[in-house]
Structure 1
Amino acid sequence: MSQTTGELLLLYELSLNLGQSLDPIQTGRRFLKTLLSRRNLSTASIWWRDDAGTPEVLDESAFDLLDAIPRGQYRQPRRPLTPLLCRLMLDGQVRVFAAGAPEYAELVSGATDTSAVCAIYPLGMDGLLLLESADPAQFAPRFLGQLRAVVNNLSNSLRGGKAHALLRARTAELDESRKLLQTIIDTTPLRVFWKDRESRYLGCNPAFARDAGKEGAADLIGKDDHQMNWAAQADRYQADDRRVMANDQALLGYEQPQTTPDGGTIWLRTSKVPLHDRQGQVMGVLGMSEDITEQKREERRLALAMEVARILIWEMDLVTGKLGYDGSDMTRLGLDAADAPDTLEGWLARVHPDDRERFTGAMRQALQPGDARGFDCEYRLEDKAGGYRWLQTVGQVAQRDAQGRPLLAAGYSLNIEARKRAEQELKASEEAQRTLIAALPDIVMRFDAQDRHLFASENVKAVTGLAAADFLGKTHRELGFPEPMCAFWEHAVRQPFLTGRPHETEFELDSPSGHRVFNWRLTPDSDVDGRVRTVLAVARDVTERKRARVELERHRRHLEELVATRTAELAAAKDAAEAANRAKSVFLANMSHELRTPMNGVMGMIELARRRMSDADGLDKLGKAKLSAERLLKVLNDILDISKIEAERIVLEDQPLQLVDAVANLHATLDHKASERGLRFTADLPPDLARIPLRGDALRLGQILLNLVGNAIKFTEQGEVILRLRTVGETADALQVRFEVTDTGIGIEADARARLFRSFEQADNSMTRKYGGTGLGLAICKRLVGLMGGEIDVASTPGAGSRFWFVVPLRKTETGAVPPAPTLAALGAEQRLQTEYAGTRVLLADDEPMTQEISRALLEAIGFVVDAAEDGQQALEMARQSPYALILMDMQMPVLNGVDSTRAIRADSLNRDTPILGMTANAFAEDRQACLDAGMNVHLSKPVAPDMLYETLLGWLERRGKRTVA
């Protein structure tokens, strides 16, 4: 390859590199790599300055190293704008300096290695291209001149990439580079072919043959375009051929599509020139084509990007003042295509008056001879609606004449309305933020990664004594703070930078106002890539809060001490109360046993005496004694019941019941008393309620009814007593049943009704003398109704009668067998036992001689054979030796009590299944439950009425269904 062809290929490759990226660093690196790969250069570098000002003013403006090959060639990546560089840039020409020249020393200063000669290209007024070589021939004037156009294009590419990364300015250098590129295409063997005058192929190079899907040129010779895979474009291709030959002129650089062998389409940039024979006559066509398919795609993408970015491309003839828009859509700027200004004067007329002088000043500066910086101006332009829009116009002179006068300018205009609006909103937001920060009591600061203050609120002066402006740009060390404080802040500020998360800490400071404690919260401020750029610190004075917290902690500890002391006192009081309650329970149990045991003897002996008495006067006296004993037992039961209630020893049973049984028991118990007083006692129980299976405490319910109906009979001289039962409410689980007892008795005064349900209270004291009673019955009723979850009350008219009522919930249950309710008077039981069960053998266990005597007499009176045991151990041994029909077991006995004896009998004896009846003076619910848990079948509280005893014996004998006789 000849030197000229190699240089042209290099220029071509350099030009292609410039269009591959909008990134200036990548563009510069590709340029330098290509240049060093084709030329014998030792180093090449590009220097650029972003603060391009007036070159004559040698201020702090400087060049930064954009890129260098090899890297590390320059120890300092920055060089000042010296008079030499300023002069070279104003001259605008490429200059070559040998190693001995003074300019050479300045140009290569800072380089690690130097060469024999260097060449410098000014890149407008913005940058420098510095080349070094040990071979002076590398910088021949011809090559440097050819490279000039490409270097100008490099300058434009870097400028466009640096400024806006979207568009390269269409400059005069770009036009020159296109001409150079067209020349390269015309003379470089890319896709080369030649035809005769009839457009038949005479030959081609391998690249063209591959495009045609052929193996070589021989496959094309003699054929025309209609016989190729691009037959669809053949007429157009041949028309171009005829045009070139007819006019004897080249047809250069036009673009056209071509169908590929696989049916696809590529785009070509084609040049055709006439072929002449030796006599100068046109003999055919020589053509060269370049595949620009990817370039076409890029152009479409660029056009789309310009559309999205609302960019307008323009050219301006500086001689005529005419404006052209290169097919760009004027609506991007809010202008109609027909209404767009076509001259510079028309454009200036639409610039906002306040911006016009600035716009024209920037334009005049760019038109000055030797100015290569161009202009960049933001201003407002009137739109088609009469309003104004913010634009940014960037451009530069693209062509000058030989005297340096500007002929053509090119550039683009960008709609920046949204950015300006955002800037205004940001400014307003910052102002609002400053106002807010000023109103806050907190101290606000912002730091960079070097602990420098970027912002400080005004109230920092009250704490540090320094004004907010004193902090800006300085670290804590530079502000003269003590070393511990500086070390603390360096660590605290570093945390959000390291972790990317907020950091909270406390710091104490001796301020002009005294010792203060601050809570600091440092929050990272990150960019879109997640990199922490700054840290915002907010400090809140928590001195008083800390003091309050210390004081609160002191009070808390004191309160905890008080609570601990009080808790200990309460625990001691609770233990004492529980001990007292246990003592009370033991006392009640003992009292129950000790009172019932002698009462059992009294009532039992009276009953035995009555059974043997035939004298009428004696029977009358014994009847009165029995009545007195029953009244005494009633008083004892009431006192024990109210005591148990107050001691919370009452536990309600939950067992099946039927209201009809409760009513029947009342009649059986109280009918004779009503008859004795000449009264009529009736019960009104609806049939639908009578047989509903319910659950509750039948014994306590009967106790309440017995008390209320008994009182009504007692306090009624004539008339009647009526018991009514009604359902007054219902839920899914229970019935609300109302029991109402109405009498025609003496009635109750209003003031007496208020204390009627209190313990030991009656309507008046005279009633005790006239009617008797302790005044506990209604109090017990009220407590029992309350335990059942109900309520009780009375309505009365003195002299006319009273109506006592109570409502309690009784739970529903499934239909099933209901055990017989306790019967307080059984008719015929004694006679049946005598006739049907005479000779039945029973075991009686009781350690109290009198009680044992009474029980034995009652049992033997009905014909039973009785074996007696004086303690639980004897009872166990007898049960192991003989079978019994029934066992009557006392609870409290020496050696072995009744509960343990029952357990042993159930475990190992001949009477494991024999009914065991507990007969004991221990009448509490827990006593009853202990008997049942041990294996007893029923629990009877002493004293036991003979009728109750006989009814119970008969029931269990019938249930067992067999007799055991001696």
Structure 2
Amino acid sequence: MKHNSEHNMARALACLWIVVCCLAALPAQAACLWDMDCGTFWGWLLLALLPPGLVALWWFALMGLRMRRIRFLGMGMDARGDGMAVLNRKHVYCAVNEAYAALLGLAPEDIAGRSVRDLWGDEAYAQRILPNLEAAFAGKTVRGRLVVSIPALQGRNVEVTYQPVFQHGRATHVSLFLHDVTRRVQAEAALRDRTTLYETLVESTNSIILRVTPQGRITFMNNYGLRFFGYTMEEVRDRHVLGLIVPPVDSDGRDLRTMWESIMADVDRHALNQNENLRRNGERAWILWSNRALRDNNGQITEVLSVGHDVTPLRQSRQELEGLRMALDQAGYGMAVADLDGRVRYLNPAWTSMHGLDPRGGVVGRNIGEFLAPLNDLDRLEAVFTTVRERGVYQEEMQHTARDGTTFTALTSITLLRSPSREPDGLVLMTVDVSERRKLLAELERSRQRLKVIVDNVHDVVFSMDADGRFQFVSSAVRELFGYEPKEVEGRKLEFLAHPEDALLCREALTEYAQGRSAPNSLELRGRNREGQIIWLVVNVSGIMARNGIPEQLVGVMRDTTEYRRMTMELHESRERFRELVQAIEEAYWLQDEHGIVYTSPGFEPIFGLTGTALQNTPAQLLEHVQPEDRELVRQMLPGGKLADTQQDVTLRVLLEEDAVRWVRVRTFPVVRNGKVLRVAGVAQDVTAYTLAVQQQREAKEAAEQASRVKSDFLARMGHEFRTPLNGVLGMLQLIAMPGVDKETRMSRVREAEHSARSLRDLLERLLEFVSLESCSRAEVEEYPFSLRDMLRGIQSRHEQSAREKGLDFAVLVDEKQRDFRGDGAKLRRVLEQLVDNAVKFTPKGRVKVHVRQEQTGKNRLRTCFYVDDEGPGIPEEMREVVFEPFMQGDGTYTRRYGGTGLGLGIVRQLVKCLGATIALEESPWGGTRVVMCLEGDSV
């Protein structure tokens, strides 16, 4: 069809081209008919409009043919009864036929243009339709059945086919076909039901069902038969019954092979037969078989259906009869066997003893009615026997007559005795002395009375309901709780006592109970008493179940929880306030007893770095967060420790990161009741700030005391230092003033006074210099280039003479490679001169050496270290800081062996601090003192 359409289209285009070519001459013809200008205009206009018009006419004709073909296809589909629709890729209906719309109960115009989701619903679209459409647009044909919620399709089965429609090799549309398969599905379901029913009947029966071929091979055996014989279906199928379930010879010596051949020869004659059969485990069983031939249309036997019943117990019953008779003789209840007309066959010893009869006999053959007081009337006795023959059993509490004429009550059961052929064969009478039963009934009545007393004295309302939820019984506590009498409540439903807003809850719960569904055993609801006051109730309900699992009666207890609820709410509010209070306070709180820590507040973790849960699980973890020196104390305070039940107030050190320490004050308070410690409450407070403040205060106090001591020492030293030269001046002046002193002596004393005055001046200068340097800062340091080598040479020349006079080996090492740098050369020279002066002064013999080391620390930056080594007595390590104090020497006394003011190293320290340098005292290589001073500066 596609090939013919292409040829027709080619012919149409060729014809159209010829027409266009013919019309091309119309302008020239039009020029002959009209004015040249007018003809030209209309000709060109006709030439421009005619081809599009012809193309449009051709397109409409083609569409008409296509629509006519689609209409015929739709009519054919409608006539067949199948629904058809076309969907685009947006899952929107493009076209539907009448049958499709009729299946959905809509008009075609109501479907076209609508989306599939809108028509079929979100659930059916998402679960079933969308995956099929996606598969169809992928080029697959999909078939399946659909169950939807559209009213027109409810109760019907629809088979859906999704067929892709291709254009230019791509699925652009999907054709949707609906087939109503309701009848077919119903027929299949009916067939399945019948098959299932047959299989159920076959498999649920307690009989052996067997189908065999006329040749004796098994084609089917039901599950009961397979279990009975101990085989599987695969093991018995197509196997011969002889040798498998039928032995060749039975226990009585009969040839069962011959019997089987006789049955197969005439099945109808052997409709019933009984023979011995063989199980897989070797056991033998007697089975009564019912045989029926299954024939085809020609009357030929195709299979034999055999239904077997195990009659082995019946055959064994005779063997067991004697044992049963012995059991009856030893039974504790009376037993009698009589003929159908009432003549006695057998009485067991219990019957004879119960009726006072002679155990040696003489009773057999008598009428059983003689022992039944109300049945001595023969008509009445015959009526009872007739009832037994009809119903099979009769039971009644009867008055029995003893041999001495006394009567007693016994529960008598009369049962029809049948022969193995199920024919009535006699009567069995069993009597039970009901005196014990009557005692039990009396005890039951007493128990009921006790239960009533208990229920009436219980403060809770005890009730029972029927299956409809109506009160059958209500205890007297309802009077005190609700103000109603029990009779006013009985017969009503639980909603009568419930608050109107909780009535629905009551109905739903009782409905679930009545239908046997699981429901909460405990209901919390509001009740309302006679005065309209609200009562909070807890209702516990349980059911007395019938055999079908549905409650036939509901019993329960109703308790007033109003006061309990109020106390619970108050407790909850108290706990909430306590929780808010604990969270608002920064301290940590905990409770512990003999078993461990039972509570920790949220503030515990910020203080100790350990969560409360971890502490409760393993209290010993706290030791890992405490300073080692405090761990033994903490171990004694934990549950089980010696200090766990005592009051404590200690301060612990808690370890933090980076070796930091938090100071924590811990206080414990035992809670004692009746002389016994129930629990211990603990409070922990972060006192780090307080402890540090106390330490700072203590340090400040010690510093103040030290300053006071220094001040006192300073004043004492100053007084001594000033008095010595001043006394020298005054003493010499007094001696000069004495008469009779010659000139030479006077001049000598003047020189001594001058020397003391100069010493006093030097002391004042050094003291003033020391005081001025205490406030020295980097701003007062001058920066200028100077020659390091010249400074060293100057120091050497100044101290070389004094060192030579003491016989010292003095050397200042000057290296021409040493670099000059910028700095305060005067202050640096003052420091070096003082250090060299001290080295020369305190070295009695040996060597004094000065040398310099430099290293580059950055671009144009030098680190210069000056080393002054001597071979003097040295300075003890504990005095290396003290010697920098004013008026102090290495021996720490005011009495100096070497003279001087004791301010030299103090001035040195102030100058070093002012220069931003460092100074340190070490031991020299010769055992004396090494002074190392280092500073940085820009190189020149």
- TM-score in same-fold range (> 0.5): no
By relative contact order (CA 8 Å, sep 6+), the higher-ranking structure is 1
TM-score (norm 2): 0.31
TM-score (norm 1): 0.30
